[in-house]
Copies of this chain bind each other. A is one copy, B any other.
């Protein structure tokens, strides 16, 4: 069996440059910024919630002169017009205190982003400068106590009152209360409220409207009730709260009216006729939040890996015979197996994320409303963002947990950072879309070819839609049957044939085959159930785990393709070789994890599956001498790694 090749010494700064990519300059600026408040990561566990919130706000205000808060806004309003840079900045901020990260995300991403994308020039002129400068703090009030993922079912109302040319924003009952709203319990003055718009007795679906919630002294405005969500598992530097509105009157101008307008007389207009399409077009402009969360999760995972790797290269335990010292943790196979595949997957997801950010930058830097092609591109971007966010945030949860355990008791002390890394990132799998729901959205996009309004997760509709047309279209689109035939020849799989385990084409073929196969299979199951006349909800429900699997394996394919492309575009030399080894480890580790499925479907013999397990171990061993370099290349400021256990 061909083993992994010998890797030469790595140039860490060159590798770091490959990771930093197009936004190296922005990342460098953020790293400098991070160093100015690095102490917060060590002090935060001992702060009261009140003090922590105050510190986080202070950091936000201090960051304004650096210009980082302006990156994502248009130049004509005082921004930098650098959307990709703004995400890169967010990703890098995630190396430091995560309450600061989320406070920034709420203020400049969600709140500022909603005004930018859903508002029109009058809103931009009036608010953006104050948003960027942090003079106007605000909230993104979408989620309600009774509705999170199903945004179309929100129940807060905004009713137009033509007699006074105003909207009345109202919370009909407790389940319609806005909940978990960041920046609302303490600081926010203005909220972007998502509400069912009613004009002249007619319902127009969910729209966003600006509602002032606090006066200059910080007191809730009349009719607005603000509650504190109280202590949270993590992110206690962010003031999450609950908002209840009792027929709060706001000016007609407060409707964020880029996609729909209400004139003084109470006549509703929109360039998008279909209400679903209109709604999901609006929501789609907010995709940046999801992309940011995924990138932030990776930043936190990198910190955990850097800490655990350095510890494993310092801490000794039990002995090799005759040796003076005990053996380093990192010299144990089990320890390599715990950490190095996670390092490899972090690289894989990093390059995937970088590609996603580049696409986002391109799509959002163009004029919008440019027809169907553009819309298709946006739907694809949204789908990719949803899928990649799911995988990166789950990866972060798993990675930080594993790193904590790999540092034993030391990992449990707050001084060593894992406590807050774990707690703060835990909700990343939930916010900006629950991962399980997001994967169903991805699957819907795959099965319906984005022809339907994308963000709407209507399980029944999906099942019916697929039954109606998808099998043929899916099968045609993916050419699954032909592909399967071609692969049967191309992919080695015989018991004694262990050649090609490190062949990138083999990895890609396996991932693509699984993607195509699961997608077709789930389409056929949905169709069969509907054709049989079964209840559509039951049909969907019985396939739901299969639907989620289809999405997951599709995104896994996207990840491998992105990493493979990054390796291909890297110049020859030791950095390329190490990236290639990481790509091998990530690809084979993924096949190893799912080797049950591959064997079930005749794509992997038992012998070859065992050979893959062996090869994953060999790759870990090969990468072991480079472990420190691999995590150093993440470019984490030393101030943020200055933990007790490494002193």
Residues of A whose CB lies within 8 Å of any CB of B are 45-46, 48-49, 143, 146-150, 153, 179-180, 229-234, 316-321, 326-327, 331-334, 337, 397, 401, 404-405, 408-409, 411-415, 418-419, 422-423, 426-427, 429-431, 434-436, 457-460, 536-537, 541-545, 548, 592, 594-597, 599-602, 606-607, 609-610, 617
Most B C-beta atoms less than 10 A away, residue of A46, A48, A405, A543 = A405
Complex Cα spacing A408 to B319, Å: 45
Closest chain B CB from A439 CB (angstroms): 9
C-alpha spacing A356/B125, complex, angstroms:
70
Looking across the interface, which residue of chain B has its beta carbon closest to that of A318? B150
Residues of chain B with a CB closer than 8 A to A435's CB: 405
Chain A interface secondary structure, helix, strand, loop or mixed?
Answer: helix
Which of B319, B457, B542, B600 contacts A609 (CB under 8 A)? B600
The listed residue (B150, B331, B537) touching A317 by CB distance below 8 A is B150
Among candidates B230, B412, B423, B426, residue contacting A427 with C-beta atoms closer than 8 Å:
B412
Distance in Å: Cβ of A443 to nearest Cβ of chain B: 11
The 8 Å CB contact of A179, one of B409, B419, B607, B609, is B409
Are B595 and A233 in contact (CB-based, < 8 A)?
no
A231: chain B residues at CB < 8 Å are 45-46, 413-415, 419
- Are the CB atoms of B419 and A404 closer together than 8 Å? no
Q: How far is the CA of A327 from the CA of B318 in the complex (A)?
A: 54
A48 touches B48 (CB 8 A): yes
Residue of B nearest to A44 (CB): B231
- The reply to whether A545 and B431 form a contact with Cβ atoms under 8 Å apart is no
CA distance A414 to B45 in the complex (A): 15
Shortest CB–CB separation between residue A3 and chain B, in angstroms?
13
A434–B413 touching, CB < 8 Å: no
Complex-state Cα separation, A321 to B594, whole angstroms: 35
Assess whether B45 is in contact with A460, with CB atoms less than 8 Å apart: no
Given contact pairs A405-B429, A430-B411, A422 touches B233 in the complex (Cβ within 8 A) = yes
* A327 contacts across to B, CB distance below 8 A: 537
B415 with A332: CB separation less than 8 A: no
Give the chain B neighbours of A150 by CB distance below 8 A: 317-318, 326
Taking a contact as CB atoms under 8 Å apart, the answer to whether A431 and B458 are in contact is no
Q: Which of B229, B316, B333, B412 is in CB contact (< 8 Å) with A413? A: B229
CB distance from A214 to the nearest CB of B (A): 22
Complex Cα distance, B597 from A595, in Å, reads 8
